[in-house]
Amino acid sequence: MLVAYLLLAVVTSGAVFCFRNRTATLLSISLFLVGQTVLTVYAFCHLNERDCTYFTFDSLGVILSSVLTILSFATFYHSYLYLGRQSDNKRNKSIYYAALIMLSASLNGAYFAEHLGTLWSFIEATTLCVAVLIYHDRTNHALEATWKYVFICSIGLAVALVAILCISIASSKEGVSDLNLSTIIAHAQGMDTIWIKITFILAMAGFSAKMGLFPLYAVCVDAHTVAPAPISAFISTTLMNVGFLGIYRMYCIVAQTDALPWANKVLMIAGIFSMSLAAVQLLKVKHFKRMFAFSSMEHMGIVVLALSAGGIGYYAAIFHIVLHSFAKAGLFYQIGQVCSVYHSYVIKETGNYMKLNPLGSIVVILTFISVTAIPPSGLFISEFMMFKSLFAGRHYFVAIVALFLLTIILYVIGKRLMHLLYYKGEGVATLEPVKLNNYETFSQFVLLGLIFYLGANPPVFLTDLITGATAILK
């Protein structure tokens, strides 16, 4: 099934690139989105089944693929609107859509990869696809950010590849002759603890470039600044999720060994450092997309903190990933509308948005509530679970520091967004705004509805999937 899906992605992206006309593009995108939906439904109906040699439809893969499917519909729609406002360059548009299709396919390949080598290959493929999309505007800043993204991500993934080689050495001493995740996990308890620790620290550092986590967090921030708003939504959600997946797969191996307490400390340090750096950078940020990029970094810090705390924190980490994806995607879609109104992402050049776009302003307020985990945001539930787990594990100092940092972040984001909504002073851009589509905000209300609903009343199938994804850590 997955091979058929990947072939469909290659065919549809090739059709978009070669034909370069509106009808062929819409038909190809529609066909791909149908295939994307069918794959996710099929994976859910065949949970934990092997698909050919290198893929398995496990619970975490199904969760992340479901998030990808929902956001793919929204991202292609907002990309259509975004490109409609740009110059009529058919070549650039065809490259954009083709790269976006291949990016979605690469993400799904990584989500369901059972073989560590296959996982690494698909994550590396996402780097190439995203690089094309970051460079879409063809400016000097876009070129710089693209090369920086490719260079740093390639270094990070090279480090992650060394981690896979290390686990291969450790597993071979236990008689394991392949890199299938389930096989390695089954033999992990007897592996050399030193090799396990080396593997995890390298994987943590390498995949942090994708997750937007300390230490290689900077590459995602720069990519956000220049990428089109719909692509920023993808970078901050589904792409960061694949970085989390890489770390989580390695963590599942470590969890079977005596190195687990040590790995939890590494995650805790990375989480606190990520939140601290995000808070410091937010105090001086002057660009909306950079602000939300550092906000994503803060949330990834929360995720690894929850993971390090154990217990209910395992559930909170995955639940937070899901809800953050919907919240941050909606925020980036809306900030694309803000740019259409002011022709700028610079904070000081915006203001009085409530009058210019009342419906979009409601989205800004609701996404602020969601992203900063103010009740009734579902993110409040996942963060509450994280703190409960930290206090249960007697990590009092870490919990207090995290609360302090979250307070700073809430204040800074609130202040910047209130400037956008209500500021009427000098310096506001006065260019003639682009006329917005009346239905453009609909997708954001759908995503916000999901955040509030899943927080208040998570469906049984979602809780079962998250429980299944964390069962190996119990």
CA dihedral over 320, 322, 324, 327, signed as positive or negative: negative
The pLDDT score that the predictor gives to residue 434 is: 58
Series of mean pLDDT values for 10-residue runs along the chain (474 residues): 93 92 91 96 93 90 96 93 80 92 95 94 94 89 88 92 93 85 89 92 92 82 84 90 95 93 94 94 90 92 94 95 95 90 87 88 94 92 95 94 95 93 72 66 92 93 94 82
Residue recorded with tokens 């239905």: 439
Cβ atoms of residues 249 and 60 within 8 Å? no
The whole-number pLDDT of residue 225 equals 80
Residues 341 and 357 sit within 8 Å (Cβ to Cβ): yes
- Residue with tokens 């899906």, as numbered in its chain: 5
Nearest to 280 by CA among 412, 100, 369, 99: 412
**pTM of structure:** 0.94
Return d(Cα 16, Cα 332) in angstroms, integer. Answer: 25
Backbone angles phi, psi at 55, to 5 degrees: -130, 145
The number of angstroms, rounded, from the C-alpha of 196 to the middle of its chain's C-alpha atoms is: 26
Largest CA distance in the chain: 70
Residue that the structure tokens 């060994």 belong to: 257
CB of 273 within 8 A of CB of 210?
A: no
d(CA 300, CA 267): 11
The predicted pLDDT at position 474 comes to 65
Residue 311's region, left for phi above 0, alpha for psi from -120 to 50, else beta, is left
CB atoms within 10 A of CB 348: 16
Residue type, 223: A
Of 207, 235, 231, the residue nearest 221 (C-alpha): 235
| Structure token digits, residue 390 | 């930290």
The answer to whether 324 touches 237, Cβ cutoff 8 Å, is: yes
Q: Are 253 and 185 in contact (CB under 8 A)?
A: yes
Closest CA to 289 of 246, 334, 341, 335: 335
What is the amino acid identity at position 302?
I
SS (H, E, C) the chain: CHHHHHHHHHHHHHHHHHHCCHHHHHHHHHHHHHHHHHHHHHHHHCCCCEECCCEECCHHHHHHHHHHHHHHHHHHHHHHHHHHCCCCCHHHHHHHHHHHHHHHHHHHHHHCECEHHHHHHHHHHHHHHHHHHHHHHCCHHHHHHHHHHHHHHHHHHHHHHHHHHHHHHHHHCCCCCCCEHHHHHHHHHHCCHHHHHHHHHHHHHHHHHHHCCCCCCHHHHHHHHHCCHHHHHHHHHHHHHHHHHHHHHHHHHHCCCCCHHHHHHHHHHHHHHHHHHHHHHHHHCCEHHHHHHHHHHHHHHHHHHHHHHCCHHHHHHHHHHHHHHHHHHHHHHHHHHHHHHHCCCEHHHCCCHHHHCHHHHHHHHHHHHHHCCCCCCHHHHHHHHHHHHHHHCCCHHHHHHHHHHHHHHHHHHHHHHHHHHHCCCCCCCCCCCCCCCCCCCHHHHHHHHHHHHHHHCCCHHHHHHHHHHHHHHC
Instruction: For the chain, state the CA radius of gyration.
Output: 21
Q: Are 412 and 275 in contact (CB under 8 A)?
A: no
Q: What pLDDT is attached to residue 141?
A: 85
Contact 400, 393 (CB under 8 A): no
- The pLDDT assigned to 33 comes to 96
Taking alpha carbons only, the member of 364, 378, 361 closest to residue 462 is 378
